[in-house]
Amino acid sequence: MKKEPQGKPPQPQEASKYTSGGIPIKGVYTPQDIKDLEYDKDIGDPGGYPFTRGIYSGARGIVFGQRPVLGYGLPEETNKRIKYLLQFGMASPSGMPSYNLTMDMTSAYGFDSDDPRMSQWVGVSGPPCNSILDSEAILEGIPLEGVYHGALSYAPNWRVAHYIGIADNRSIPRSKLIGATLNDSLHGPIGEGVHLFPPSGCLRLIVDTLKFVTAEMPYFRACDVQAYSSREAGCTAPQEAAFAIADMIEVVQGCLKKGLDIDELSSHLTFFFACSSDFFEEVAKFRAARKVWAQIMRERFKAKNDRSLRMRIQVKTSASTLPAQHPLLNIYRSGVQALSAIFGGASGLNITCMDEAYSAPTEEAARIALLTGKVIEHETGIGNVADPLAGSYYVEYLTHEMEKAIWEYLEKIDAMGGYIAALERGYLQREIAATNVKQSYDLDSGKQVIVGLNRFQPEKDEDEDIEIFDQDPMITYKVMSERLNKLRAERDNGRVKELLAEFREAARADGYLMPIMVEAAKAHCTTAEIFGILKEELGEDRSCLIPPDWFSTV
């Protein structure tokens, strides 16, 4: 008789697995994996230190607002899109009407729309912003009070100056203005490549704006660190969080050197993250980043008010994960990423449109993206419980590992002398480049599967036929050039000359820039006039991803 084998049969060896950010994971998690975590010290309640579970207590901790990033073409076209989407519930967590406005590449690089070298970029990726008249056209019929105005711009000081100038012209107190501006040109070199000035000049402009806003605009957040662009450029989740925090540390240090108070400054700081497709890793990223930032604010910067320890997180779902193939699947991808951001405790959310790979979104695509968030908010019960994934063995393990990875990067950057020093040494750029190489290999080899892109590709006649946004920048270029000619002929050019001379002197002598910018905006100075002076006095960053002689060849 055959003898039965004793004991359990040999089990197949489980393959090593990692999150997209490189954190090792296994198939099953138990209490043993989080046995060293202490609830009060490492997790805590929502709304309490270390803010792992969110910055607000109770169910409010899962409330999120929707602030799509929008803008294209002529200022009045962007105005029309804002008004259209406001009908479908663009709002902050409190229900206040809200939006995030981007700007075109011409303005972002400090040029006016009539510069022939930039003709093909006028009104692309946002409306032009030559003068306060353009900003007034964008905001025509939109109240300043009771509306959250967000500006994603690489010329943020100028955009804020327009906003303040319009408020002054409407006799609205600056203290009642609510909103935020990107104001983070320090992140440009590792993100979208839009960085006009050397890092020291970028920091000066950031601090200058924060000084003004802290004194005069208590409800306006004047530094929104743009981690989104670095993630889209190739950062892993731990890199995205660590590099953004290191950037904000540099900003806070610059502000403290100028005499700003940490507890007065903190409410003006916020973070703008991406949310990619590794669902649980993204949840862990947001939870870990909040914990790290709370510790830095308490222990490094000695903030006394518990409110100063809160990391305010705005999120945009990842455009780089939305391929052109099977674009309708992108509605699902963005929806899942939105869920991850909400479970991670984001307070502001922009759901990316399905046609992102093609162009600026069509009206329909923008509406679907906004209403996707409304379905999540009103049909899922998500708003009933704060941080519902807390206590999951896997989520708590992953949050802890993410925190360790963030601290490792921060310690390396500190050892180099801080964020600017790491930037100037090329460390951050090299880290992202190495990540890009690995991601490209994983895609090409099929290790990472993107449905419709490297597997399950549609036949040509099977792919979805969707409407593509049609835009001719040359039309916008012609219209805006005519408007600029009219503006220069009709404004008080004596006053313009006087203010530009005053602005140049302040820029040269390390003076206070924002008050002069506001007056320059009201006098109808243009973007190229202001940024021409800044480029001359602060220096131009020639390490920009666009070659220095690019514009001369256009």
Kindly report the CATH number assigned to the domain that includes residue 124.
3.20.20.240
The Cα–Cα gap between 152 and 145 comes to 19
Tell whether 115 is covered by a domain.
yes
**Is residue 349 assigned to a domain?**
yes
pLDDT value of residue 151: 82
Domain holding 541, by residue range, is: 66-356+466-554
Q: Which residues pair with 148 in a beta bridge?
A: 98
Q: How many domains does the chain have?
A: 1
Tell me, what DSSP letter sits at residue 300?
Answer: I
All residues at 6 or more sequence positions from 187 whose CB lies less than 8 Å from its CB, including other chains: 225, 226, 227, 229, 230, 243, 244, 247
User: DSSP label at 97?
Assistant: B
pLDDT, position 7: 55
Domain-embedded: residue 391: no
* Residue 341 to residues 17, 20, 422, 501, 535, Cα–Cα distance (Å): 23, 16, 29, 47, 38
Q: What's the DSSP call for residue 360? A: S
Task: Show pLDDT as tens, one digit a residue, over the chain (554 residues).
Answer: 445 455 555 555 555 799 999 999 999 999 999 999 999 999 999 999 999 999 988 765 456 788 888 999 999 999 999 999 999 989 887 789 998 888 898 998 889 999 999 999 999 989 999 999 999 999 999 999 999 998 876 656 888 999 999 999 999 999 999 998 887 788 878 877 666 888 999 999 999 999 999 999 999 999 989 899 999 999 999 999 999 999 999 999 999 999 999 999 999 999 999 999 999 999 999 999 999 999 999 999 999 999 999 999 999 999 999 999 889 999 999 999 999 999 999 988 999 999 999 988 999 999 999 999 999 989 998 878 889 999 999 999 999 999 999 999 999 999 999 999 999 999 999 999 999 999 999 989 999 999 988 988 877 666 667 888 888 999 999 999 999 999 999 999 999 999 999 999 999 999 999 999 999 999 999 999 999 999 999 998 765 444 444 444 44
In a domain, 376, yes or no: no
510 belongs to a structural domain: yes
Return d(Cα 291, Cα 394) in angstroms, integer.
17
CB-CB contact of 373 with 379 (8 Å): no
User: Do the domain assignments include residue 54?
Assistant: no
What is the reported pLDDT for 275? 97
**How high is the pLDDT of residue 540?**
85
Q: Is residue 35 part of a domain?
A: no
**Domain-embedded: residue 385:** no
Strand ranges in 351-395 using DSSP code E only, listed in sequence order: none
